[in-house]
Amino acid sequence: MGVEDTNEISYRQSVAPDEIQGRMNTTIRTVNRIVFFFGALLTGVFLAFFGYHLTFGIGASIFLLAALIIVFSPLRNARHEEVVT
């Protein structure tokens, strides 16, 4: 998360106009908090019903899928050209 946050925030700040950066960051932060909440809740349910081994396997599979999506997405090669004024 530490490595990803710096890259993600830097990219967002470089492509978003100054006027909307506050709203954009607030919206993304809110969505992240909601996902963390439901992810923790779902993990607890999975642990109760499926046990540790299967739950960790499901979690590892989700992280692997997320990594593959990033590796094969256009985001990997995204570049922002600076405009000199």
| Residue-by-residue pLDDT tens, the chain, 85 positions | 566 677 788 888 888 888 998 898 899 889 989 999 999 999 999 999 999 999 999 999 999 998 898 889 887 777 767 666 5
- What pTM, to 2 d.p., does this model score? 0.64
Phi first, then psi, for residue 81 (nearest 5°) are: -85, 130
Tell me the two tokens of residue 35. 């996902």
Q: Where are the domains of the chain?
A: 18-77
CA distance 39 to 34: 8
Alpha carbon 44 to its chain centroid, in Å, reads 21
Do 68 and 74 touch, CB atoms closer than 8 A?
no
Look up tokens 């993600």; give the residue: 8
